Structure 1
Amino acid sequence: MVRRMRRLVAVLVGGLAATLVAVATAGPATAAPKPPPAGVDITGDGLAEPLRLRAESHPQHVVAVIDQVNFLPGIGQKTGPKAADLGPKYTIVVLAGDTPKQTFDLYPKAKGGPRVFRPAKQPDNRKTSAGWFLGRLSMSETLRTAGVPLEREFDTVSGGVGGGERVIPEDALDPARDIDEALGEMQRLLLLNGAVVLVITLGLAGIALLIRRRTS
């Protein structure tokens, strides 16, 4: 009887361990639908109306503008330069399709180098904190080539504080993609934790049953 119980416990634990490995390595059960094309709206000094850039018609400009803010860390500085040292301000709104997702204030001519301000209030109501960040040295030229009325800079270095020049795949333009990936990872983590708890519980139950059989 004891041998049969040991075999039963071994089979259960082995099966659950295999399930645990499968859950940890498997991807999402169904592929998420392809997100709508991304875009950016730019408003600010010298622009009589918003500058609307869309990935279908201006893919390079959309990628370049988004690259000015996609490297920002989670926490920025609480205070920025003095208002007199900021220079012209340009607000960009990152969209997924026609839905605004994120907004940032860019100061390409700030004293001491370009600056980025991320407001705490975001269009998609995501939870974030307000913060100031050092911008890329290429900010002014990027905005100028996208259509913002700024003087040309001949000494701009590729990249900047945020890092070197990068090539971003088209699917990285959608701001909602990171949210979908985070939810998928959270689901897998919950399933993984549940499987671990189940394996431990069954193992303890099997051991307790064996001890009870032996002592009875």
Structure 2
Amino acid sequence: MIRRVRRLLAAVAGTVIATATLALAGPAAAHAAAARVDRPAAGVDITGEHLDQPLRLRAATHPAEVNAVLDQVSWLGRTGQQQGPKTADLGPKYTVVVLAGDAPTKTYDLYPLAKGGPRVYRPAKQPDRSKTLAGWFFGRLNMSETLRAAGVPLQRQFDTLSGGVGGGERVIPDDALDPGQDLDAAMGELQRLLLLNGGVMLVITAGIAGIALLVRRRTR
């Protein structure tokens, strides 16, 4: 009888632990799957100011230019700032559409001459219908030169101020940053994590209580 109770106890405990592990690992695995790129980009299309027709760059014929443009947007995080600069401070806009085969998958708006440094806006609505949070991001300092090398009619820009050999600093005004937006996003993520952990603890507690009740009945 005691052996049967021990086996039952071990089985129930294993089920509870497995459930808790899946609950914790599930969101991370889903996010990793969403972030994984199944196929390499076949190319990019660029439209914008002073472009009479789109620049159609393909990896087969312009690999360096395609990779350089993708490098401007491939590093973006899950959340960005909800509010961007004033429209008058953005400068010319260039829309980059990333292609997989002949199908568009991602789209981004690039502002290489924005006041305070280049900016990237990622719309929530994406061509591949993936769930993406809209947001503003500070772009790479070489955005203007990258687009110019790809064929966008931009004047040569000096994106960094020399700070010595290998040095440099970004020119960002004090009012360009909005830490409140990032703090709100971080607090939202923390709240969701706490709710998830609370749910897992509730499952574990219920499992232990059920085991204790079962053992009590079996040993009477």
Q: Normalising TM by the smaller chain, what interval?
A: 0.5 to 0.7
Query: Which residue identity does 2:96 align to in structure 1?
Result: I
1:65 to 1:143, Cα distance in 2 relative to 1, 3 A: same
Which one of 116, 120, 137 corresponds to residue 116 of structure 1?
A: 120
Structure 1 residues 17 and 160, CA gap change in structure 2 (3 angstroms): farther
Residue deviations 1:38-97 (CA, integer Å, cap 9, x gap): 1211011232221122333333322221221233341324242333x4332211112222
Q: After the TM superposition, which residues 11-160 of structure 1 pair with which residues of structure 2 at under 5 Å, given as runs? A: 11-13=10-12, 16=15, 35-38=38-41, 39-73=43-77, 74-83=79-88, 85-153=89-157, 155-157=158-160
Retained in 2: the 8 A contact 1:113–1:134?
yes
Task: Please report the TM-score for the alignment, with normalisation by the length of structure 1.
Answer: 0.60
Query: Within 1, Cα distance between the matches of 2:117 and 2:209?
Result: 62
The one-letter code sitting in structure 2 at the alignment partner of 1:37 is P
Q: What CA distance in whole angstroms lies between the structure 1 residues aligned with 2:204 and 2:94?
A: 54
Q: Answer whether contact 1:137 1:156 (CA < 8 A) is retained.
A: yes
> How far apart are residue 138 of structure 1 and its match?
0.4
Query: What secondary structure does 2:11 align onto?
Result: helix
Contact 1:37 1:56 in 2 (8 A): no
The separation in 2 between residues aligned to 1:136 and 1:146, in whole angstroms, is 15
Greater share of helix: 2
Cα distance change of structure 1 residues 50 and 160 upon mapping to structure 2, 3 Å threshold: farther
Tell me what 1:211 maps to: 216
Using the TM superposition, give the Cα deviation of residue 200 of structure 1 relative to its aligned residue in structure 2, in angstroms: 6.6
**Paired-residue identity, %:** 53
Tell me the alpha carbon deviations over residues 161-182 of structure 1, each in whole angstroms, 9 at most, x when there is no partner. 6xxxxxxxxxxxxxxxxxxxxx
1:145 alignment partner AA: A
2:97 alignment partner, SS class: strand
CA distance in 1, matches of 2:169, 2:130: 27
SS at match of 2:85: coil
- Matched AA of 1:212: R
Q: State whether residues 86 and 109 of structure 1, in contact with CA within 8 Å, keep that contact through their aligned partners in structure 2.
A: yes
Q: Which moved more, 1:102-111 or 1:13-22?
A: 13-22
User: Which amino acid in 1 is paired with 2:66?
Assistant: V
* SS of equivalent to 2:72: coil
Determine the C-alpha separation between the residues in 2 that align with 1:211 and 1:140.
72
CA distance in 1, matches of 2:12, 2:113: 64
> Could you say what secondary structure the match of 2:68 adopts?
helix
Shift of 1:10: 4.9
Counterpart residue number, 1:4: 3
Does the 8 A contact of 2:9 with 2:211 survive in 1?
Answer: no
Q: What is the TM-score when the length of structure 2 is the normalising length?
A: 0.59
Kept in 2: contact 1:41–1:53 (CA 8 A)? yes
Contact preservation (8 Å) 1:88, 1:109:
yes
Cα distance, 1:13 vs. partner? 5.0
Once the two structures are TM-superposed, the CA of residue 128 in structure 1 deviates from its matched residue by 4.2
Alignment partner of 1:48: what SS?
coil
